[in-house]
Amino acid sequence: MPLHYARRLTGRRRSASANRQLGLVLAFVAGATNAGGFLAVHQYTSHMTGIVSAMADHLALGEFRAYLGGFGALLSFIAGSACSAILVNLGRRRRLHSEFALPLVLEALLLLGFGALGERLARIPGLFVPLTVMLLSFIMGLQNALITKLSHAEIRTTHITGLVTDLGIELGRLVYWNSPRAADLPPVRANRERLGLLLGLAVSFFGGGVAGALGFKSIGYYATLPLALLLVTLASVPTLDDLSRLARGRRH
């Protein structure tokens, strides 16, 4: 990957084009992690709507153990989101080039740990759920908060409910017939650029899901290692820029 491209993709200076391209990559990673993780922990760890709904069902039915399991996953997702916000704001206050790369580095390390130690982690009890569930939920929260802050809430990558809703809205605008009788009113027009982005994110998430499921089926937990490598590659240039600046500062 060319250095200037990686720097533009995950660096501090943002552009709409870089946000879209990074969003597509992260949607693939999220789809792969979510689908492959389901085969590992038998639970989708980015779907907080379903988890909270299931918590309500379990509580109403008196299934408190299952309720606490959902609660543990929910808290882990929130903790991941909070951690991402802390890292981004820390990088912003210190004017780091890796302001947005730091959460990606952490996500890569966590995916690396999940891939290398997954079977052992599955036997370790976490907060009402196995540590693997907590780890994947934390990762999903971390990534979703990052892309939300980076794109000013225009792009989401770890779940597609809102994405598909927006896609339907834009499709409705696209096929809407502007009657000549309403010529005095503003015409209804679809944002074709946004429509393409939403469709690309949905396809990328689905493609990642297929790749993650096939990868886990073939090589188990190690399927997350290529995802970790991809994230490290994306985040490496801004991170190295900061390390180089730190080294120069110490010499002077």
Mean pLDDT of the chain, nearest integer: 88
- In three-state secondary structure terms, 125 is strand
> Per residue in 149-175, pLDDT tens?
888 888 888 878 888 999 999 999 999
Give yes or no for a contact between 150 and 9, defined as CB atoms under 8 angstroms apart.
no
- Distance between CA atoms of residues 117 and 123, nearest Å: 10
Domain assignment of residue 28, yes or no: yes
Domain assignment of residue 251, yes or no: no
Nearest CA-CA partner of 72 in 127, 123, 121? 127
> Per residue in 82-127, pLDDT tens?
999 999 999 999 889 889 999 999 999 999 998 888 778 777 777 7
Domain assignment of residue 252, yes or no: no
User: What pLDDT, on the 0 to 100 scale, is given for residue 89?
Assistant: 94
CATH number of the domain that 211 lies in? 1.20.1250
Domain assignment of residue 183, yes or no: yes
User: What pLDDT, on the 0 to 100 scale, is given for residue 57?
Assistant: 94
Instruction: Provide CB contacts within 8 A for 20, sequence distance 6+.
Output: 155, 197, 200
> pLDDT means per 10 residues in the chain (252 residues)?
74 88 93 87 82 92 90 93 95 90 94 85 76 90 92 83 90 89 83 92 94 91 92 90 79 67
Counting the structural domains of the chain, the total is: 1
- In three-state secondary structure terms, 190 is coil
User: What pLDDT, on the 0 to 100 scale, is given for residue 30?
Assistant: 92
User: What pLDDT, on the 0 to 100 scale, is given for residue 252?
Assistant: 64
Domain that holds residue 225: 3-245
Sign of the Cα pseudo-torsion (80, 168, 212, 17, in order) = negative
- Distance between CA atoms of residues 134 and 145, nearest Å: 16
Global confidence as pTM: 0.89
User: What pLDDT, on the 0 to 100 scale, is given for residue 250?
Assistant: 73
